[in-house]
Amino acid sequence: MRIGYFRPTINFLNTKGNLRFENSRDIKRNNKLFRRSSLAITAPSFLITSDEHFIRCCLPSAMLRICLCVSLIINIALSQQDTEEPVTYTCTDGYEYDSARQVCRDIDECVTLADACKGGMKCVNHFGGYLCLPHSAQIIVSNGEEEEVADPTPPQPALPAVRVPHVPSGPASTGGDLARGLPAQGHTIQCSAGFVPDEHGYCRDIDECTGNPCQQQCINILGSFICKCDHGYDLAPDAVSCQDINECAFSPYMCQGDCVNQPGSYVCVCPDGYQLQAARLCQDINECEASHNCREDQMCWNYHGGFRCYPRNPCREPYTQTGEGRCSCQSAAVCRGLPPSIVYKYMSITSERSVPADIFQIQATSVYPNMVNTFRIKAGNEGEEFYLRRTSNVSAMLVLTRPLRGPREHVVDLEMVTQNSALNYRSSSLLRLTIVIGAHTF
């Protein structure tokens, strides 16, 4: 980046605390040869780099160890007239030219800019610019006594240590003020809370976390520290200790089964007959496919949360078993007034199932022309928990109308009557439905 432009005939000289530019040129005037020299500018500088046409002037700063560059653009024009050649000066940003003293004077942006720093930050002026620092930063200002100060190179701290030299405003602000800003011998540096002075004159942040002030996690910040809690904990009102979060109190739907709070976490527990699935769901265990204690003459029937043993032959006199779960009466005289056949069926539902709900369909197994089938609930509906909805001439749907709370067993007799008036034919069959209601809603 090109900082300043000078003609190759311009000489520059670095002096202690100053950089002097001198334009020396042999001029022929009225057949006389003489040398004219004009002083260009004097500015504080300590580091000079140059090439054939360009010069960079850098000002090593004690503030945060940043090299603040002062770019000086000097346009020197030799007049074609016989009068003394005019010299013009242009100062870099952050400086203004003082024609009386012929120097570039620092501008105090903290005074000239109303909103130099935002967010409640502290404005600190320095050569060629300004800094916005938090109010917790300690600014070291000297008593104005000038002294020689070495330029130490302290090790880079983990968090920045802040030292800001005092820059007075007004016409007297020149490059010589750079030597000020460090405490004179015998002076004590006072740092804000959370900082301590080090051997280099910096206010260095104290790492309070080394003393383990927090119960769990400690985060060091400039001038203080913050306590943080692990997952599953909240910061207590004392801002240091952590208290467990009871996740189970957030919602009754944290777990499908039971929610058990633990330090920093929680676990879901399923009741007997269920196994945990996906950390929070409960899946029914089919004991009939695993291990059960039903006898050989019994069949195992699985339901939500358990199993039951029912006789493989449910038929009672005068009925005999004619198929799986089917009982028939072989004597018309003995079975007069009784249904000629009874079919046994089993099903299970969850407790407090939402209603209305279609739960079971009854359907004729044989279809004859001109036959009319009618369906009704013959027994087991004393509480009016069910009704039958006819879906066709040969089928009907059992509808649950009231929630049933488990665990319990409910037996419903569904009757189908088949008749043909032309043939004076009438027959009936009974379906005995055993409904097992589980203990849980899942």
pLDDT score, position 369: 79
The dihedrals phi and psi of 387, each to the nearest 5 degrees, come to -150, 160
Q: Span 89-106, mean pLDDT?
A: 85
Q: Which residue has the higher pLDDT, 45 or 249?
A: 249
Kindly list the distances between the CA atom of residue 212 and the CA atoms of 21, 100, 159, 217, 280, in Å, as whole numbers in the listed order: 58, 60, 19, 9, 37
The full DSSP string for 80-146 is SSSSPPPB--BPPTTEEEETTTTEEEEP-HHHH-TTSS-TTPEEEEETTEEEEE-TTSPPP---S--
Q: Which of 257, 235, 256 is nearest to 244 (CA)?
A: 235
Here the tokens at position 141 are 């200002």
pLDDT score, position 202: 86
CATH topology agreement for domains 208-244 and 247-284: yes
9 pLDDT exceeds 70?
Answer: no
State how far the Cα of 88 lies from the Cα of 75, in Å rounded to an integer.
6
Question: What is the rounded end-to-end Cα distance, in angstroms, of the chain?
Answer: 74
Give residue 50's identity as a one-letter amino acid code. Answer: S
CATH of domain 208-244: 2.10.25.10
The DSSP symbol for 440 reads: S
With cut-offs at 50, 70 and 90, classify the pLDDT of residue 141. Answer: very low
With cut-offs at 50, 70 and 90, classify the pLDDT of residue 105. Answer: confident
State how far the Cα of 124 lies from the Cα of 109, in Å rounded to an integer.
9
Q: Span 60-79, mean pLDDT?
A: 37
Neighbours of 198 (CB within 10 A): 15
With cut-offs at 50, 70 and 90, classify the pLDDT of residue 44. Answer: very low
Q: What radius of gyration, in Å, describes the C-alpha atoms of the chain?
A: 50
Q: What percentage of the chain carries pLDDT values higher than 90?
A: 48
Helix residue ranges, H only, 234-313:
none
State how far the Cα of 417 lies from the Cα of 117, in Å rounded to an integer.
93
CATH of domain 298-437: 2.60.40.60
pLDDT score, position 94: 86
- The answer to whether 266 and 248 are in contact (CB under 8 A) is yes
With cut-offs at 50, 70 and 90, classify the pLDDT of residue 139. Answer: low
Please give the mean pLDDT across all residues of the chain. 76
15 pLDDT exceeds 50?
Answer: no
Q: Which residues of 207-226 are buried (b: 16+ CB within 10 A; e: fewer)?
A: ebbeeeebbeebebebbebe
Q: Span 162-171, mean pLDDT?
A: 39
Q: What percentage of the chain carries pLDDT values higher than 70?
A: 68
Fold for the domain defined by 247-284: Laminin (2.10.25)
Here the tokens at position 323 are 């198929």
Strands 326-329 vs 319-323: parallel, antiparallel or unpaired: antiparallel
Q: Span 298-309, mean pLDDT?
A: 95
Q: Span 268-295, mean pLDDT?
A: 94
Q: Which residue has the higher pLDDT, 14 or 399?
A: 399
- Of 17-21, 108-112, 185-189, 295-299, the one with minimum mean pLDDT is 17-21
pLDDT score, position 64: 37
State how far the Cα of 91 lies from the Cα of 83, in Å rounded to an integer.
25
The DSSP symbol for 384 reads: -
The DSSP symbol for 230 reads: P
- The answer to whether 203 and 163 are in contact (CB under 8 A) is yes
With cut-offs at 50, 70 and 90, classify the pLDDT of residue 395. Answer: very high
- Of 41-45, 155-159, 322-326, the one with minimum mean pLDDT is 41-45
Q: Which residues of 312-345 are buried (b: 16+ CB within 10 A; e: fewer)?
A: eebbeeebeeeeebbbbbeeeeeeeeebebbbbe
Q: Which of 63, 65, 69 is nearest to 49 (CA)?
A: 69
- Of 58-72, 283-297, 368-382, 414-428, the one with minimum mean pLDDT is 58-72
pLDDT, tens digit (0-9, with 9 covering 90-100), for 397-411: 999 999 999 999 999
Q: What does the domain layout of the chain look like in residue ranges?
A: 10-106, 208-244, 247-284, 298-437
Strands 341-349 vs 425-437: parallel, antiparallel or unpaired: parallel
pLDDT, tens digit (0-9, with 9 covering 90-100), for 335-381: 888 899 999 999 999 999 999 999 999 998 877 778 899 999 999 99
